[in-house]
């Protein structure tokens, strides 16, 4: 007891506790700082040096977040559409997330985050020729593309297992649900779920002839239906 | 402390600088000690423990509704992929680790889930808090590193809360532990109970009782945990605000419209806002400035009610209109860390302030700040 000021910890106790507090504050601040300073070539060198020594602890303690909620701008939503080969002819596509199925709301939000995760990790199947000449860009793209394919394949396998069908019977599509601008809404008063707001991000995608990592990309012939996730099921 | 009067007469310029630096460091040290180590009542943390425990219990219930899809061998993210996303297979290895990367049998997962539900239930009711809160923290980390891809702000905030609750005697009030402690104290007042106070019973036993059934007294650990929650919240809002400041929609005022126009988030129709651009633009600007200035304006007592009132409005809005009820609620719970314990039970705290000892008026953080 440090009588005069009522502190119950002694000098050495306070010193040790202060050291631990400073480490924790470092852990709290490190990742948001590094994340906020990300540029085309990575984070600011100063932020990277600051975060480096505490990175592993921050990651294990789940402190490694950027806190960019609805930022820098509120953007469109991304969803997953899953078609099963047998049912595809009928144009049935299961949407993830789907508020009609995924209840309570937290379960819906978990599926929503998974769909956003698939979108956020997306890398194009090939690099533009000029980028291919940059070894750093190419190696980074190879790793990121492999990761996307692994996530894609894991999700596809999950749908197949849940539906009780072979993996090659499942086709996943990434959908983007665009946001209606204010002038557009005021002029047309369309529904927020208007089919014209949906973009099939997979449709224009050309998979690489030789997928990386030996992962098989579906080569099933699909009927040319484009049922928006918000449409008929 | 006098700023100038404490300098020794006749000291040269170097002496004055040296004395000034020492005085400044002394004041800094005193401020640091008061801020972090002045004992504090645990009412607020007890409330946060109940709310966080209940939220963790609920999130585990929801995972249990579709356990195999989130944790099983055929989950959306398989256990092997969850491991590979962290172990360096796809880029730099992270410090994350979870035993759930290696265990996916349905029987194990169900027992594990039942255990997680039990632990969080005990945390909520406050039974064995010195054991179950650290257990809840550990299991939370294991879930977080396993559920990669399915997580969002709710998980970040519940994890930070349970991390800091673990440090404090958050079961010393409003808990079964507190009830057991009171029963024990009453027994000590009887002749048989007084035996516990005898030296032959040993200080270890008394320490164990005090640790596992903490007394409802002000403590330094409560202050440290509360301060860490407060500062962590300040970091969240600061970076949340800075990130928003990089987007043009928060400056041109349309951000709130685009949040309202997001079909996947909305739980109530807000498209009527389109006819009131003044309203949604004001909301966007207010949110941006509130987040950026939160770390500065939440500390002074004059502005704190306004900042916390805005926090309740913003997060209640997110809960009601954007469908993220759990996230909105847990953010309001986290903001309650800025509520002074004396506001919850003024009688207890007033009595403590009158009494001598560690909870005397000169030691409370509130008064320490008042002095500064």
Contact B20, B200 (CB under 8 A): no
Report yes or no: B258 at the A interface, CB cutoff 8 Å. Answer: yes
Closest chain A residue to B361, measured at CA: A6
Contact: A151, B362; criterion CB under 8 Å: no
Say if the Cβ atoms of B59 and A192 lie within 8 Å: no
Q: What is the pLDDT of residue A221?
A: 38
Q: What is the mean pLDDT of residues B96-121?
A: 97
Q: Percent of chain B, pLDDT > 70?
A: 87
Is B198 in the same domain as B232? no
Q: Are residues B155 and B228 in the same domain?
A: no
* Distance in angstroms (rounded) separating the CA atoms of residues B98 and B79: 10
What's the number of domains chain B is made of?
Answer: 2
- Say if B131 falls within a structural domain: yes
Q: Does residue B357 form part of some domain?
A: no
Terminal Cα distance for chain B, rounded: 11
Q: Does B151 touch chain A (CB under 8 A)?
A: yes
Strands A198-200 and A77-84: unpaired
Q: With CB atoms and an 8 Å threshold, state whether A157 touches B78.
A: yes
Check CB contact of A229 with chain B, cutoff 8 Å: no
- Give the nearest partner residue to B163 out of A61, A66, A104, using CB atoms: A61
User: What local confidence, expressed as pLDDT, does residue A33 receive?
Assistant: 97
| Mean of per-residue pLDDT scores for chain B | 89
Domain that holds residue B74: 40-218
pLDDT value, residue B335: 98
Residues of A in contact with B261 (CB under 8 A): 179-180, 185, 192
B59 touches chain A (CB under 8 A): yes
User: CB of A36 within 8 Å of any CB in chain B?
Assistant: yes
Shared domain for B133 and B261, answered yes or no, is: no
Of B113, B140, B117, the C-alpha closest to A62 is: B140
**Cβ–Cβ < 8 Å for B249, B255:** yes
Residues B212 and B244 in one domain: no
- Looking at residue B370, what is its pLDDT? 35
Of residues A36, A57, A177, nearest to B95 (C-beta) = A57
Domain C-terminal end among B218, B244, B273: B218
Of the given ranges (A10-24, B120-134, B180-194, B251-265), which has the lowest mean pLDDT? B180-194
Check pLDDT > 80 for residue A136.
yes
Q: Is residue B158 part of a domain?
A: yes
Q: Which residues, numbered 208 to 237 in chain B, qualify as contacts with chain A under a Cβ-Cβ cut-off of 8 Å?
A: 219-220, 224, 228, 231-232, 235-236
Give A150 or B370, the one with higher predicted confidence.
A150
- Per-residue pLDDT of B245-298, as tens digits, reads 999 999 999 999 999 999 999 889 899 999 999 999 999 999 999 999 999 999
Which residues numbered 342-361 in B keep a CB inside 8 Å of some CB on A?
357-360
Where does residue A200 rank: exposed (0-12), middle (13-18), buried (19+ CB within 10 A)? middle
ipTM score of complex:
0.87
Q: Which of the two residues, A207 and B39, has the higher pLDDT score?
A: B39
CB contact under 8 A, A185 and B271: yes
Mutate to test the interface with B, among A5, A37, A65, A69 (most CBs of B within 10 A): A69
Q: What's the alpha-carbon Rg for chain A, to the nearest Å?
A: 24
Facing residue for B144 by CB, picked from A62, A67, A118: A62
Tell whether B355 is covered by a domain. no
Which of A104, A151, A177 is nearest residue B81 as measured by Cβ atoms? A151
pLDDT bracket for residue A202 (50, 70, 90): confident
Task: Decide: residue B293, CB within 10 A, 0-12 exposed, 13-18 middle, 19+ buried.
Answer: middle
Considering the domain architecture, whether residues B48 and B196 belong to the same structural domain is answered as yes
Q: Looking at the complex, does the CB of residue A178 fall below 8 Å from at least one CB of chain B?
A: no
Q: Does residue B168 share a domain with residue B88?
A: yes
What residue of B is the nearest CA neighbor of A68? Answer: B240
Q: Which of B149, B247, B363 is closest, CB to CB, to A114? A: B149
B140: in domain: yes
CB-CB under 8 Å, A65 with B228 = no
Cross-chain Cβ contact A66/B271 below 8 Å: no
Same domain, B103 and B54: yes
> Model confidence at B160, in pLDDT bands (50, 70, 90)?
very high
> Does residue B271 contact residue A192 with C-beta atoms inside 8 Å?
yes
Domain identity same for B175 and B279:
no
In this structure, is residue B61 part of a structural domain?
yes
How many Cα atoms are found within 13 Å in the side-chain-facing hemisphere of B94?
Answer: 19
Residues B202 and B142 in one domain: yes
> Could you tell me if residue B367 is inside a domain?
no
The whole-angstrom separation of Cα B266 and Cα B258 is: 11
Residue B11 lies in a domain: no
Verify that B63 and B99 share a domain, yes or no.
yes
Is residue B124 located within the same domain as residue B154?
A: yes
Are B210 and B304 members of one domain?
no
Residue A76's closest CA among A197, A190, A186, A204? A197
Instruction: Indicate the pLDDT class of residue B244, thresholds 50, 70 and 90.
Output: very high
The pLDDT value given to residue B333: 98
Give phi and psi for A198, each to the nearest 5: -95, 135
Choose among B59, B259, B325: nearest Cβ to A74.
B259
Query: Which residues 84-143 in chain A show a CB within 8 A of chain B?
Result: 97, 104-114, 117-118, 143
Looking at residue A109, its pLDDT comes to 97
Question: Has residue A201 got a pLDDT over 70?
Answer: yes
DSSP H stretches of helix in chain A: 11-36, 45-51, 55-60, 85-88, 105-120, 129-132, 135-163, 182-188
B residues 262..321 contacting A (CB < 8 A): 262-267, 271, 274-275, 277
Residue in B337, B363, B348 with CA at minimum distance from that of residue B49: B337
Confidence of residue B343 (pLDDT cuts 50, 70, 90): confident
Last residue of a domain, one of B188, B218, B248: B218
Report whether pLDDT(B65) > 60.
yes
Instruction: Give the model confidence (pLDDT) of B195-235 as tens digits.
Output: 555 555 677 788 888 889 998 899 999 999 999 999 999 99
> How many alpha carbons lie under 13 Å from residue B305 in its C-beta half-sphere?
3
Domain boundary among B195, B218, B241: B218
pLDDT band at A88 (very low <50, low <70, confident <90, very high): low
Q: How far apart are CA A2 and CA B66, in angstroms?
A: 54
Mean pLDDT, residues A187-215 taken together: 69
């Amino acid at each position: 007891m440090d009588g005069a000021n009522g502190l119950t910890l002694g000098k050495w106790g306070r010193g040790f506790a202060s050291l631990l507090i400073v480490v924790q504050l470092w852990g709290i601040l490190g990742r948001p700082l590094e994340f906020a300073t990300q540029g085309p070539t990575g984070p600011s060198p100063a932020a990277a040096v600051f975060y480096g020594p505490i990175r592993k602890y921050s990651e294990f303690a789940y402190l490694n977040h950027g806190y960019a909620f609805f930022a820098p701008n509120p953007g469109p939503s991304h969803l997953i559409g899953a078609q099963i080969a047998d049912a595809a002819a009928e144009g049935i596509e299961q949407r993830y997330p789907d508020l009609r199925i995924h209840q309570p709301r937290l379960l819906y939000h978990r599926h929503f985050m998974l769909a956003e995760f698939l979108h956020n990790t997306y890398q194009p199947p090939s690099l533009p020729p000029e980028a291919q000449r940059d070894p750093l860009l190419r190696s980074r793209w190879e790793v990121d593309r492999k990761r996307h394919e692994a996530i894609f394949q894991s999700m596809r396998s999950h749908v197949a297992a849940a539906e009780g069908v072979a993996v090659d019977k499942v086709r996943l599509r990434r959908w983007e649900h665009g946001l209606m601008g204010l002038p557009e809404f005021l002029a047309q008063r369309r529904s927020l779920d208007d089919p014209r707001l949906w973009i099939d991000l997979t449709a224009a995608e050309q998979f690489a002839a030789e997928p990386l990592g030996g992962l098989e990309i579906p080569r099933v012939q699909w009927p040319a239906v484009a049922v928006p996730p918000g449409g008929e099921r | 402390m006098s700023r100038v009067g404490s300098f020794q007469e006749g000291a040269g310029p170097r002496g004055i600088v040296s004395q000034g630096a020492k005085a400044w460091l002394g004041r800094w040290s005193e401020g640091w000690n008061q801020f972090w180590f002045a004992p504090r009542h645990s009412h607020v943390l007890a409330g946060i423990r109940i709310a966080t425990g209940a939220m963790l219990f609920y999130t585990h219930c929801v995972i249990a509704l579709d356990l195999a899809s989130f944790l099983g061998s055929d989950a959306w993210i398989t256990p092997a992929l969850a491991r590979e996303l962290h172990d360096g297979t796809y880029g730099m290895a992270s410090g994350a680790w979870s035993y759930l990367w290696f265990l996916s049998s349905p029987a194990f997962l169900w027992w594990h889930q039942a255990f997680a539900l039990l632990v969080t239930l005990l945390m909520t009711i406050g039974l064995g808090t010195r054991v179950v809160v650290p257990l809840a923290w550990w299991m939370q980390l294991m879930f977080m590193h396993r559920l990669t891809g399915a997580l969002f702000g709710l998980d970040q905030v519940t994890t930070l809360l349970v991390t800091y609750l673990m440090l404090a005697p958050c079961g010393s009030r409003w808990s079964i532990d507190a009830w057991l402690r009171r029963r024990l104290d009453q027994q000590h007042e009887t002749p048989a109970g007084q035996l516990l106070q005898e030296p032959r019973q040993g200080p270890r036993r008394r320490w164990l009782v005090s640790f596992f059934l903490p007394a409802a007294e002000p403590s330094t650990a409560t202050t440290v945990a509360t301060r860490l929650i407060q500062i962590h919240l300040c970091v969240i809002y600061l970076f949340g605000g800075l990130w928003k400041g990089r987007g043009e929609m928060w400056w041109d005022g349309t951000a709130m419209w685009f949040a309202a126009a997001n079909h996947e988030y909305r739980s109530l129709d807000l498209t009527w806002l389109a006819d009131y651009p003044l309203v949604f633009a004001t909301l966007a600007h207010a949110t941006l400035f509130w987040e950026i200035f939160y770390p500065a304006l939440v500390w002074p007592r004059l502005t704190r009610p306004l900042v916390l009132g805005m926090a309740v409005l913003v997060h209640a809005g997110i809960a009601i209109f954007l469908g993220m009820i759990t996230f909105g609620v847990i953010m309001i719970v986290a903001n309650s860390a800025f509520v002074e314990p004396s506001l919850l039970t003024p009688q207890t705290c007033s009595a403590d302030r009158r009494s001598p000892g560690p909870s005397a008026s000169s030691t409370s953080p509130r008064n320490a700040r008042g002095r500064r």
